[in-house]
């Protein structure tokens, strides 16, 4: 897909999620047509680069003025999806007309559909279908009409009857995924549930005064969360695991953590998410603030490898190049809230909002390099008076030495205890000596962090494909220099 088509798709998806009224919201067809024409004019301007500043201001103003209506319209669409999902929960789709089989992943081979397999439509429309027992021919006809192509190599997901399995990773342009990566993805697909993501990303509505900390995976989330909690609590460390205090919106429900509580006695309420801007709860909502943190994607994917290695896979079976090429680089712009955005798409989605009053746009590197200045800026953004003693507390409690000394407070043990078995893992997976956890020391060998020239070239190509068209920056270092000039020079 060329850059223009990709840009059109991303902008169209964003604008349609904001201008999301439907025919039933209008008294006449003419009024609805005028609304659609206005929406298309906005999309055209942004895609073509015409009057971008004025158009973005118009969109921002509309989003702010109609925030409640937009949320209600999204909820209405969700209810339709859920109604269809309820219809299909008791249905079994069989490829073989006679066989009743256990749930399994469909693998599409060149010689046809694998027999004795439960299959579901692998497009984002799958939840809209009430499925019934079908022949191969009937299944193929419905699949093709719903956007499935016979050159797709693998099914995207299994929708189990109890709704407890989330979709597989979005397929990218990968030619072949090894058996080890396939098995890893199969386990990872069960970490979050449909119900859990729905409750955190759709049903939950942040209140005025709430702060949502949004980052791509392994980009300083825990570091910034600890700073925020230290500031609001003046260093209270009397907690078991930090995700119980600052719920991860996608995973809280599945971890047994209540999302929408008062978080007393601390204020403001804090939440975290790895959502890109377009699916992040509270964006555009009056009074809700967001702290976005990005990191060099090369460093982020290395950290991601060590975080999942020893938990979801054995590093002896999956090396870092295989992990990056066959897994990380296959993520892209999500088509639904059930998919995870890539680190590059997440950075690109938040970039246009870096100057928003309700967004504090940070880099992991600056938080580490200029921690005191960043702590003071975060405190200001949170509405907290930060004296030297409080800044010192936040700095100490967010240091690597402190966090490694209190590693169990950051090791995701609540999530692991709740979901390991469901993922087909050992009960203590990710909690034993094989796992490096969230706070890594210097105990990994240089070879484990060394990416091949091919992988590094692919990572740079991904940056140029996704981030460069939005930012005009050819490298992460270029983007950091731009942000230094725009945002950070006055901080230190």
At 126-137, the pLDDT tens digits run: 333 333 334 444
Instruction: Encode pLDDT of 452-487 as tens digits.
Output: 999 999 999 999 999 999 999 999 999 999 999 998
Nearest to 119 by CA among 87, 75, 160: 160
Task: Render 204-268 in DSSP notation, one character per residue.
Answer: --PPTT-EEEE--TTSSHHHHHHHHHHHHHTS----S-HHHHS-BTTTHHHHT--SS---TT-SS
Q: Which residues lie below 8 Å from residue 58, measured CB to CB, with a gap of 6+?
A: 42
pLDDT score for 5: 73
- Dmax (CA) for the chain in angstroms is 73
pLDDT score for 2: 60
pLDDT score for 149: 41
CA-to-CA distance for 401 and 223, rounded, in angstroms? 12
CA-to-CA distance for 1 and 176, rounded, in angstroms? 19
pLDDT score for 89: 52
| Phi, psi of 313, deg, nearest 5 | -155, 160
- Read off the pTM: 0.68
Cβ(128)–Cβ(140) under 8 Å?
A: no
Which secondary structure element, helix H or strand E, spans residue 9, and what is its range? helix 3-18
- The encoded tokens of residue 492 equal 């230190």
Task: Render 296-333 in DSSP notation, one character per residue.
Answer: -HHHHHHHHHHHHBTTTB-TTTS-HHHHHHHTGGG--S
Instruction: Encode pLDDT of 390-417 as tens digits.
Output: 999 999 999 999 999 999 999 999 999 9
Half-sphere exposure of 481 (CA within 13 A, CB side): 7
CA-to-CA distance for 261 and 70, rounded, in angstroms? 24
- The encoded tokens of residue 162 equal 């109890």
Which secondary structure element, helix H or strand E, spans residue 113, and what is its range? strand 112-113
Which stretches of the chain score pLDDT less than 70? 1-2, 4, 81-176, 433-448, 492
For the chain, the first-to-last Cα distance in angstroms comes to: 42
Q: Which residues lie below 8 Å from residue 35, measured CB to CB, with a gap of 6+?
A: 19, 21, 26
Helix axes 371-382, 221-233, angle to 10 degrees: 60
Look at the block and give the residue holding tokens 């269809």. 84
| DSSP 8-state assignment for residue 199 | I
Overall residue count recorded for the chain in this entry: 492
pLDDT score for 45: 86
Cβ(405)–Cβ(286) under 8 Å?
A: no
CA-to-CA distance for 343 and 296, rounded, in angstroms? 9
Strand partners, 361: 292
pLDDT score for 165: 39
| Phi, psi of 483, deg, nearest 5 | -65, -35
Cβ(491)–Cβ(374) under 8 Å?
A: yes
Nearest to 345 by CA among 483, 473, 470, 477: 470
């Amino acid at each position: 897909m060329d850059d223009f088509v990709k840009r059109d798709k991303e902008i169209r998806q964003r604008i349609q999620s904001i201008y999301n009224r439907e025919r039933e919201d209008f008294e006449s067809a003419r009024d609805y047509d005028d609304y659609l024409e206005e929406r298309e004019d906005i999309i055209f301007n942004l895609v073509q680069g015409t009057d971008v500043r004025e158009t973005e201001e118009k969109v921002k103003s509309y989003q702010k003025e109609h925030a409640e209506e937009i949320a209600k319209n999204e909820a209405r669409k969700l209810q339709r999806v859920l109604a269809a999902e309820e219809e299909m929960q008791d249905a079994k789709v069989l490829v073989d007309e006679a066989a009743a089989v256990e749930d399994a992943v469909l693998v599409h081979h060149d010689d046809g559909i694998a027999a004795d397999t439960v299959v579901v439509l692998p497009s984002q429309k799958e939840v809209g279908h009430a499925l019934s027992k079908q022949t191969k021919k009937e299944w193929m006809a419905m699949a093709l009409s719903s956007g499935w192509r016979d050159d797709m190599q693998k099914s995207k997901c299994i929708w189990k009857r109890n709704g407890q399995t989330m979709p597989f990773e979005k397929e990218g342009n990968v030619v072949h995924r090894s058996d080890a990566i396939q098995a890893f993805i199969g386990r990872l697909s069960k970490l979050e549930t449909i119900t859990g993501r729905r409750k955190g990303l759709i049903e939950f509505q942040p209140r005025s005064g709430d702060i949502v900390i949004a980052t791509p995976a392994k980009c300083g989330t825990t570091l910034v969360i600890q700073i925020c909690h230290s500031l609001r609590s003046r260093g209270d460390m009397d907690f078991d695991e930090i995700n119980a205090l600052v719920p991860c919106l996608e995973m809280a429900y599945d971890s047994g953590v209540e999302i929408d509580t008062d978080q007393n006695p601390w204020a403001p309420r804090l939440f975290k998410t790895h959502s890109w801007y377009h699916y992040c709860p509270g964006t555009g909502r009056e009074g809700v603030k967001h702290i976005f943190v990005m990191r060099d994607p090369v460093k982020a994917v290395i950290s991601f490898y060590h975080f999942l290695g020893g938990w979801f896979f054995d590093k002896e079976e999956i090396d870092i190049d295989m992990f990056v090429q066959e897994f990380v680089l296959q993520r892209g712009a999500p088509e639904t809230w059930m998919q995870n955005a890539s680190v590059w798409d997440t950075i690109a989605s938040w970039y246009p909002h870096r100057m928003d009053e309700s967004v504090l746009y940070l880099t992991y590197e600056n938080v580490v390099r200029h921690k005191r200045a960043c702590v003071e800026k975060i405190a200001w953004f949170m509405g907290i008076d930060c004296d030297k003693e409080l800044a010192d507390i936040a700095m100490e409690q967010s240091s690597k030495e402190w966090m490694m000394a209190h590693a169990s407070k950051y090791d995701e043990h609540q999530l692991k205890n709740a979901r390991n078995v469901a993922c087909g893992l050992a009960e203590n997976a990710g909690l034993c000596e094989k796992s490096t956890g969230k706070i890594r020391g210097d105990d990994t060998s240089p070879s484990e962090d060394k990416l091949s020239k091919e992988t590094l070239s692919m990572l740079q190509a991904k940056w140029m494909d996704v981030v460069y068209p939005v930012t005009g920056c050819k490298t992460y270092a270029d983007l950091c220099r731009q942000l230094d000039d725009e945002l950070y020079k006055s901080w230190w």
